[in-house]
Structure 1
Amino acid sequence: MTFTFRLSLLLLVVVGWNLDSTSAANILFLSPITSYSHTHFFFYTIKALASRGHTVTHWNGLKPREDIGNVTHLHSSGMQKVNSRHDIGFDTNNPVRLWLKHPDRMANTCRTCYNDPVFHQLITSREHFDLIVIEAFMNECMLPLVQHFRAPFIYMSGLPPLPWMLESTCSPMSTQEYPNLVTEFTSDMNLIQRTINIAVSVVMVYFRDWFILPRVDVEARQAWINSTEPLPTVKEIENRLSLFITNSQPSINYQYFKSSTIVEAGGLHLRPPKQLPKDVESFVNGSGDAGFIVLSFGSIVHGSGLPEATRKIFVAAFSRLPQRVLWKWEDESGMSDLPPNVRLYTWLPPLIDLLAHPKMRLLMTHGGLYSNQETVWSGVPLIGFPVFGDQSNYVVKAEKDGYAIKLDWMTVTEDILFHSIQEIVNNPKYKENVMKLSSLMREQIELDRPLERAVHAIEHVVRHHGAPHLRPSSCKLGMMQRESMDVTLLLALIVIALSYLTVCGVRSTTFKVFRWAKADRLIKTKTQ
């Protein structure tokens, strides 16, 4: 056999394998409950899959940003209204109250989804899908469609893993070093903090299992039209999870232990910047050497909902700055007391485009994960005003890493705000720290290529019909067993029992010795 023939045969095998491994699949993406920021994670993944010849159907709760070949967009005005207003503002940010309201909120969400025409279009469809991809947060209502289409499914999350996400992937919760996203703890926790961290994490898992998912079951059974087949519980369906793709990135997020069912793809949405709109470009270019600042509270919390007293504090502090300010303010009526160096926008250009501008000096934000990733990627320091949920976690981490200052929007004063801005802009350490992280993040992303990794993981699950080989044997264990809490309890009981027996033995021996000594004294007394 000649060398040329052997080489030709090898090439034929390789090409044949590649053709087989990338054969077109029919994939259903489900994110009826979403936000403008979370759609980034889906958009670039869908676009990459479509470019590789896969057929994608996407039920998106928000209008698609662009038409993509091989992609069918399912959309309704009803879900657009739901996702444009999440009813979370500056006065509804108590984490305990939000969590306690979550069962009712989830039931209402499911009812809305199940009454939507897109759901009925899907539930009556006889189409075959090779894979279903579900946005993990707030979309448990979509799990019955996994049962309907008899397809393997993947979760994708725009957040790092929450405790129930780690539990569903049979991963350790890593509570000794991975702070729960709703806390302000860092990876360096003392005994009390670790105790609180594990307690909060366990409560979140069981609260979801006992109070949230049963509400989804009730709504799902009412919407289930296949009367000949009982619907499993959503927890039973979720236990079939093939893979979990999460938006965490090692350079800016806390580390945690991962099972083989978790794929980190944080930063897959990062892209080269584009030119700013002419009016924005003209305004920021007029800032001179002082540069400009951006203030935005994201897409879920509307900045125009700031309490009036707090708004006046921002206005007064901004009026003292040499920098120009772009302020995302959703109220089109504007402000009567706006300083000349501040301009309001109901909708800003993509943050990644603003951050890349050479005159950008500082981002002031609610502290969401996407804005955090984009500031580090672009090398811009930030001031964070966390409002709810996981935002404090990210801002505390950014402050610990030395490129941010965390402020409380409820207690901030004009002087605190002004001097914090001055500190960030004029102290070079913040810029130096964020540039170091930016270099690290860019190197990791260029080497790991998170978008390619996410696409490869999805194709792997399709090729291997759900990839059951990825499920670790720990999936056969409950959370208490997986965390070895039962072993810890058993060892504690053994130690307590041994301690009790030891104490009883010592007391008994002491008592006997005492009696013997007393008897001996009596005998000696009588003999005398």
Structure 2
Amino acid sequence: MTFTFRLSLLLLVAAWNFEPASTANILFLSPITSYSHTHFFFYTIKALASRGHTITHWNGLKPREDIRNVTHLHSTGLQKVNSRHDIGFDTNNPLKLWFKHPERMANVCKTCYNDPVFHQLITSREQFDLIVIEAFMNECVLPLVQHFRAPFIYLSGLPPLPWMFESTCSPMSTQEYPVLVTDFTDEMNLFQRTINIVVSTAMIYFRNWFILPRVDVEARHAWINSSEPLPTVKEIENRLSLFITNSQPSLTYHYFKSSTIVDAGGLHLRPPKPLPKDVEAFVNGSADAGFIVLSFGSIVHGSGMPEATRKIFVAAFSRLPQRILWKWEDESGMDDLPANVRLYTWLPPLLDLLAHPKMRLLMTHGGLYSNQETVWSGVPLIGFPVFGDQSNYVSKAEKDGYAIKLDWMTLTEDTLYNSIHEIITNPKYKENVQKLSSLMREQIEMDRPLERAVHAIEHVARHHGAPHLRPASCRLNMLQRESMDVTLLLVLIILALAYLVVFIVRSSASRVLKWTKTDQMKKKTQ
């Protein structure tokens, strides 16, 4: 039986593989999300529901499909928020984004707390065995953990960010794990490691001192239980049972982790489906040249790129023999579109496109899911990082030899054309990605991430939060956990010893000099 066939049957036979001791009533919370991040939730929920668990899901986007045992809670207000994240091609300054984050979080919380679904949940008397929260941008729902008195898990469509290491009482691994807002690799020099430590530490304390207090203010206004004060969201977060993250050893940098982190990267990968007939006809018309896909994902709209940049793409594409599928959200299209290019407001799933035998290259913003899916499918890429963690992923892909990283600020028609020509004509890029694909498929086949995630969730539900998983280091603050206090103490001891040595040497030298002068005086008097 091939791995692809086994994967296609996974959700159908999950209940037969290992029967849970009992079914659980689980609340999933992802009011603030994106189309790509919902992959991680969708397949996890579907697998749990197939095993008999009862799921209630507050979803910020319209559910993909109705699933047995799953109750979807959805509102049109959050649909609008999550469909438009106001991230454009001019928002690639990580400091600017980070300093805007407190205000952004306050607005997000107001939106969530004004949503009818929140009021439905905060007044509910239902008993949940477990709460699962999408980790990024959803700190506002932590008061629901307090309301329902249930253990909770973070589920993240990203690899760990610095604050996630802190929340799981794990070492930050700054010597080899670059913070995602940089383009450092795992081979950092002294200067880069210093920046990595400073940025990682600053992100943690900025979140604790400036972001979470804004959430606390809005949460206290929304809290309806007047007989019980609401703990801070940080105090609630410290009860975290488990953190399931979208990390995969073949693609993401290695890091040390405590028993509260579970790597489940690639759990959304599935067998490809046939392309729609119109798309199939267009790409098949490319003959041996094949086709290229240009897409900036669901958060960044390609139609928002500067006009000068758009013309660079049009000019470069007009020189290519390949056909291009371009995700362009503006239905008015383009007046100067080359004959070999077709615009789509919404493309078929990337996994289906990448699996096509005529697929030659993906041109993308470089998000984590794009990287996972290109490697899984054995297709090289050109990355144009726009914001956040994308530069980190594309730098890693370039280091691994299956990608070229281009900068918006220096992009020219010749740079773009030459990069496309280089990747398509130089076999090393295809060979490198296929080697990595083989490694990734073998790792996932041996230890399937979806089953690992499902087992971890069931384990926490079955053991009432699994407090045995939290290490003793959770009783230490970050500075103690990273042994910074020990390092400081050792530095002080060394400085004290150095001072003592210098003092002794100077004192000895002074005495010797004094004795010498005394002897000389005695000799003169004789």
Fold-level match, TM-score > 0.5?
Answer: yes
The secondary structure found in structure 2 opposite 1:59 is strand
Query: Offset of 1:92 from its aligned partner?
Result: 2.1
The secondary structure found in structure 2 opposite 1:156 is strand
Q: Which residue of 1 aligns with 2:178?
A: 179
Counterpart Cα distance in 2 of 1:192 and 1:496: 23
The secondary structure found in structure 1 opposite 2:465 is coil
RMSD: 0.9
How many residues align? The count is 510
Q: Which residue of 2 aligns with 1:260?
A: 259
Q: Which residue of 2 aligns with 1:79?
A: 78
The secondary structure found in structure 1 opposite 2:252 is coil
Given residue 354 of structure 2, which amino acid in structure 1 is its aligned partner?
L
The secondary structure found in structure 1 opposite 2:394 is helix
Counterpart Cα distance in 2 of 1:516 and 1:245: 73
Query: Offset of 1:23 from its aligned partner?
Result: 1.4
- 4+ runs of 1 displaced by more than 2 Å? none
Counterpart Cα distance in 2 of 1:64 and 1:405: 35
Query: Offset of 1:30 from its aligned partner?
Result: 0.2
Q: Which residue of 1 aligns with 2:356?
A: 357
Counterpart Cα distance in 2 of 1:93 and 1:76: 30
Counterpart Cα distance in 1 of 2:21 and 2:412: 57
Q: Which residue of 1 aligns with 2:135?
A: 136
The answer to whether the 8 Å contact 1:177/1:188 transfers is: yes
Counterpart Cα distance in 1 of 2:157 and 2:326: 25
Q: Which residue of 2 aligns with 1:56?
A: 55
Q: Which residue of 1 aligns with 2:112?
A: 113
The secondary structure found in structure 1 opposite 2:434 is helix
Q: Which residue of 2 aligns with 1:384?
A: 383
Query: Offset of 1:508 from its aligned partner?
Result: 1.0
User: 1:230-241 residue pairs with structure 2 within 5 A?
Assistant: 230-241=229-240
Q: Which residue of 1 aligns with 2:169?
A: 170
User: 1:34-49 residue pairs with structure 2 within 5 A?
Assistant: 34-49=33-48
The secondary structure found in structure 2 opposite 1:29 is strand
Q: Which residue of 2 aligns with 1:11?
A: none
The answer to whether the 8 Å contact 1:284/1:292 transfers is: yes
Counterpart Cα distance in 1 of 2:86 and 2:512: 74
Cα deviation code 1:315-351 (max 9, x no counterpart): 0000000000000000011000000000000000000
Counterpart Cα distance in 1 of 2:21 and 2:44: 15
The answer to whether the 8 Å contact 2:25/2:54 transfers is: yes
Counterpart Cα distance in 1 of 2:21 and 2:173: 35
Cα deviation code 1:442-474 (max 9, x no counterpart): 000011100000000000001100000000000
The secondary structure found in structure 2 opposite 1:348 is coil
Moved more, 498-507 or 256-265: 498-507
* TM-score using structure 1 length: 0.96
The answer to whether the 8 Å contact 1:160/1:248 transfers is: yes
Query: Offset of 1:505 from its aligned partner?
Result: 1.1
The secondary structure found in structure 1 opposite 2:219 is helix
Counterpart Cα distance in 2 of 1:432 and 1:38: 29
User: 1:269-418 residue pairs with structure 2 within 5 A?
Assistant: 269-418=268-417
Given residue 42 of structure 1, which amino acid in structure 2 is its aligned partner?
F
The secondary structure found in structure 2 opposite 1:410 is helix
Counterpart Cα distance in 1 of 2:429 and 2:447: 27
Given residue 233 of structure 1, which amino acid in structure 2 is its aligned partner?
T
The answer to whether the 8 Å contact 2:91/2:386 transfers is: no
Q: Which residue of 2 aligns with 1:90?
A: 89
Counterpart Cα distance in 2 of 1:350 and 1:493: 58
Counterpart Cα distance in 2 of 1:187 and 1:292: 33
User: 1:408-487 residue pairs with structure 2 within 5 A?
Assistant: 408-487=407-486
The secondary structure found in structure 2 opposite 1:452 is helix
Which runs of 5 or more residues in structure 2 are unaligned? 1-14
Moved more, 291-300 or 87-96: 87-96
Counterpart Cα distance in 2 of 1:488 and 1:228: 45
Q: Which residue of 1 aligns with 2:6?
A: none
Q: Which residue of 1 aligns with 2:8?
A: none
Counterpart Cα distance in 2 of 1:191 and 1:64: 47
Given residue 367 of structure 1, which amino acid in structure 2 is its aligned partner?
G
The answer to whether the 8 Å contact 2:128/2:150 transfers is: yes
Counterpart Cα distance in 1 of 2:91 and 2:113: 27
Q: Identity over the aligned pairs, expressed in percent?
A: 84
Counterpart Cα distance in 2 of 1:409 and 1:337: 21
Given residue 471 of structure 1, which amino acid in structure 2 is its aligned partner?
R
Q: Which residue of 2 aligns with 1:5?
A: none
Cα deviation code 1:481-511 (max 9, x no counterpart): 0000000000000001111111111111111
Moved more, 89-98 or 31-40: 89-98
Given residue 154 of structure 2, which amino acid in structure 1 is its aligned partner?
Y
The secondary structure found in structure 1 opposite 2:249 is coil
Counterpart Cα distance in 1 of 2:513 and 2:26: 81
The secondary structure found in structure 1 opposite 2:334 is coil
The answer to whether the 8 Å contact 1:53/1:70 transfers is: yes
Query: Offset of 1:242 from its aligned partner?
Result: 0.3
* TM-score using structure 2 length: 0.96
Counterpart Cα distance in 2 of 1:245 and 1:271: 19
Counterpart Cα distance in 2 of 1:76 and 1:167: 33
The answer to whether the 8 Å contact 1:310/1:410 transfers is: no
The answer to whether the 8 Å contact 1:22/1:459 transfers is: no
Counterpart Cα distance in 2 of 1:410 and 1:148: 48
Given residue 262 of structure 2, which amino acid in structure 1 is its aligned partner?
V
Counterpart Cα distance in 2 of 1:421 and 1:175: 34
Counterpart Cα distance in 2 of 1:51 and 1:22: 15
Which runs of 5 or more residues in structure 1 are unaligned? 1-14
Cα deviation code 1:3-49 (max 9, x no counterpart): xxxxxxxxxxxx9xx76x43111000000000000000000000000
Counterpart Cα distance in 2 of 1:119 and 1:186: 41
Counterpart Cα distance in 2 of 1:308 and 1:188: 37
